[in-house]
Amino acid sequence: MTIPLSLLRTFALRYLSVVFAVFTLFIIGSPVHYRIPFSIPIELYSRGVGETEFGGGKTFRWFATDSSITFSGLDRASHILVMNLHDGILQRQLTIRLNEITIAHYDVRPSWQKVYLLVPETQITSYIDTLALSIPPLDPGKDTYFGIAVSSLSIHQIDKGTPSLFVILALIGIALSIDFLGYLTRLNTADRTWAVWLGVFLCGYTLANWRLQTMALFPIWSNMTLLAIFIAGLLRAYVIRRQISSPWFARVLMLSLMLFVLHATTLNAPAFVDIDHRARANHVLQIAAGNAAAVQARLSNQYEWGISSVPYSLLSYYFFVPLATFLPSTLSMTTGLKIVVSLINATIPSLLYGLMVNASYSQRAGFLASALCIGLPVQHIYFHDGSYPTIIGLWFTVLTIFVIQVFERRSAWSWIGFLIVTALIVISLLIYVMHIVFLPVVLGVAALIAYAHPALRPTSYRLFSVVGISIIIAILLYYGQFILPTVSAVIDRLQASTRVGHDSLPSPLVGSFLEQVWGHTRLLPVVLLPIGLFLMFRKGATIHLAMMSGYVVLLIISCLVDTQFSLWNKHWYFCLPALAILPAIVLDSFVQRGFAGRVMTAILVAFLIWESTLAWLLRAMIYEWSLRTL
């Protein structure tokens, strides 16, 4: 059996990316320099390394009497190990081992001292190297936590050596997995090649900047990629059975799976700083244990308002309660929620694609909307602090609008359709308190615009009906008890000279309007919003135009409100569908104008995806997070 020459050329071109990445990393790239952090959790796998402490004018960590740190991906070259140590109160002998081989004994004094240790290349495996520190306990048979205090520990490569076999194998594995995902999502040959090149380039970038930290993620990445491959396999079987074939939808699926892998991997990184992530997991477990009342009391007491009766629905938590059967601990539930929410969020681009195609726009426009949804930095904002109700709320909102649009393609709604839309709106309103304002504004404005056009007047009546009924149900079920206390709190805040929760509360994501525009969208998508609306208007009055107009009105109003009451960027995130769809319509018109338009569109989309991904990597890898880096 002979292999076609064209197939060999394609395969060689596709995997030339790995050769290029290896050449760049090991021939041109700088040697490895790593220092354990003290402002964030240690990024590498470790044992017996304590939390950051302060004392004697220094920041340090206690290493237990038997502790270790694993370095993955060191080149087979000579390294210098530098440590600043303190024995505590006695002079004891420290044993330093690398890969179970003793490389030094050192008498540590009860004062700060710096140790320099040459590690020859023969001691490096080029795969996984484990540094172990052992010291007798201060009091035999007692606490082993207090081994030695370490105020700095770093390892530096001092010469060129043999490239790390682990890194090379990892790059090959990444290329193969991306290629296989491309096959499962039915990408064409050229797209699979581009996907491999771009994926390897991104991994090469992270390896060049955070070699050891990135390699520590490889086991997590492998598991998440296997899960993505399993999902893609199921989707492929469904697509083949339904005889659905579209190169644009294949690209949407590929980007969505990559978004899932990115979030699910980095959220579970050793260095990822959990903010509310563990609290959310604990709340789910508490609700599963029958302590919903205590969780409600805790979450309703929001310090930004200074009252104990802020409406905070637990509905989004109940969706995850069944997971408590399989994930009984806070740590396992935290990991599980990160994966599940990442997967749910990754379906939003596909819903936007469906919205666009269902609204009679081209599949290319649908792809551009999905790509912009992934590429806008605001995409990642609530993974930062674990605000899962906000993420789930956006998913339900997009699903609601999609279902409304599907039913509107028919001449009239059935009773089942009416009940489905009402149920979805009620759930969306109850998921997160902001939605009791945001969603009615979007749908209300859409209904008003539809009413102004005789052809859409029946749509207007239906929207007014389902929104009105849904609000009444939401008030009866939950929000009614909070109306008077919340109105009173709003009046008090308007009368206060200093408003807690706005400028007086520090937050890296609270800033001026222009800072928010740049941080969340990189400016150009906002500039394209009115142009997109204009192009939609030229196409004619549709429910899609009415919905997008509702989003734009909401964004304008909420930006004005944000100057008086900090909305904590919720409005930017809620309007993500419009921030993706309207610019996508403009970019699709650019593409139709020829080669220059295609190039400009490709550059803009690539720039946004790069900026968005880099911003998230900075947050996940080194906890650098603000409107300037977002």
- Please tell me the total number of residues recorded for the chain in this structure: 630
Distance of CA 42 to the CA centre of its chain: 20
How high is the pLDDT of residue 217?
A: 94
Which tokens in the block code for residue 454? 């005789």
pLDDT at residue 507 tops 60: no
More confident residue, 562 or 81: 81
Distance of CA 560 to the CA centre of its chain: 28
Nearest to 35 by CA among 178, 152, 131, 189: 152
How high is the pLDDT of residue 345?
A: 98
Helix (H, G, I), strand (E, B) or coil at 105: strand
How high is the pLDDT of residue 502?
A: 47
How high is the pLDDT of residue 504?
A: 47
Cβ atoms of residues 535 and 585 within 8 Å: yes
Give the DSSP H or E segment for 21: helix 5-23
How high is the pLDDT of residue 314?
A: 95
Using alpha carbons only, give the angle 185, 186, 187 rounded to the nearest 5 degrees: 95
At residue 382, φ and ψ (nearest 5 deg) are -95, 0
How high is the pLDDT of residue 249?
A: 94
**pLDDT single digits (tens) 439-469:** 999 999 999 999 999 989 999 999 999 999 9
DSSP 92: E
Nearest to 21 by CA among 159, 207, 158: 207
Sign of dihedral through CA atoms 238, 240, 244, 246?
Answer: positive
Contacts of 67 (CB under 8 A, 6+ apart): 46, 47, 48, 49, 132, 133, 134, 147
Nearest to 75 by CA among 278, 187, 211: 211
For a pLDDT cut of 70, what percent of the chain falls above it? 92
For range 125-147, the mean pLDDT: 83
How high is the pLDDT of residue 491?
A: 73
How high is the pLDDT of residue 483?
A: 82
Which tokens in the block code for residue 365? 């426009």
**pLDDT single digits (tens) 177-207:** 999 999 999 999 999 999 999 999 899 888 8
CA distance 347 to 343: 7
CA distance 407 to 283: 37
How high is the pLDDT of residue 18?
A: 82
Intervals of CATH 2.60.120.260 along the chain: 33-157
Least confident of 14-23, 39-48, 127-136, 288-297: 14-23
CA distance 601 to 324: 45
The residue written with tokens 């979805």 in the block is 424
How high is the pLDDT of residue 562?
A: 86
CA distance 595 to 597: 5
DSSP string, 29-87: SPPPEEE--SSS--SS-EEEEEEEEEETTEEEEEEEEEEEEEEES--BS-EEEEEEEE-
How high is the pLDDT of residue 244?
A: 64
Half-sphere exposure of 362 (CA within 13 A, CB side): 13
For range 553-561, the mean pLDDT: 95
pLDDT at residue 288 tops 60: yes
For range 404-413, the mean pLDDT: 84
Least confident of 92-96, 195-199, 301-305, 446-450: 301-305
CA distance 578 to 574: 9
More confident residue, 139 or 244: 139
| Residue type, position 36, single letter | I
**What mean pLDDT is reported for the chain?**
89
For range 152-181, the mean pLDDT: 92
Nearest to 465 by CA among 421, 504, 432, 429: 421
CATH of span 33-157: 2.60.120.260
Distance of CA 411 to the CA centre of its chain: 40
For range 139-163, the mean pLDDT: 84
pLDDT at residue 482 tops 60: yes
Percent of the chain that is helix, strand, coil (3-state, to 5): 60, 15, 25
For range 427-437, the mean pLDDT: 94
CA distance 523 to 531: 14
How high is the pLDDT of residue 5?
A: 64
End-to-end Cα, the chain, rounded Å: 52
How high is the pLDDT of residue 304?
A: 55
CA distance 448 to 463: 9
Quote the crossing angle between the two packed helices 388-408 and 415-431, to the nearest 10°. Answer: 160
Confidence category of residue 567, pLDDT binned at 50, 70, 90:
confident
The per-type count for the chain, helices as H runs and strands as E runs, is 24, 9
How high is the pLDDT of residue 102?
A: 94
Nearest to 128 by CA among 179, 164, 102, 152: 164
For a pLDDT cut of 90, what percent of the chain falls above it? 69
pLDDT at residue 403 tops 50: yes
pLDDT at residue 506 tops 50: no
Least confident of 154-158, 306-310, 400-404, 442-446: 306-310
Cβ atoms of residues 408 and 428 within 8 Å: no
How high is the pLDDT of residue 512?
A: 81
For range 485-512, the mean pLDDT: 63
DSSP 496: -
For range 241-263, the mean pLDDT: 89
The residue written with tokens 């220094």 in the block is 58
Q: Distance of CA 575 to CAs 23, 425, 520, 553, 559, Å?
A: 43, 16, 11, 10, 11
DSSP string, 437-478: HHHHHHHHHHHHHHHTSGGGHHHHHHHHHHHHHHHHHHHHHT
**pLDDT single digits (tens) 340-391:** 999 999 999 999 999 999 999 999 999 999 999 999 999 999 999 999 999 9
Confidence category of residue 27, pLDDT binned at 50, 70, 90:
low
Nearest to 404 by CA among 418, 394, 390: 418
Contacts of 169 (CB under 8 A, 6+ apart): none
The residue written with tokens 């008498």 in the block is 107
For range 402-414, the mean pLDDT: 86
Helix (H, G, I), strand (E, B) or coil at 96: strand
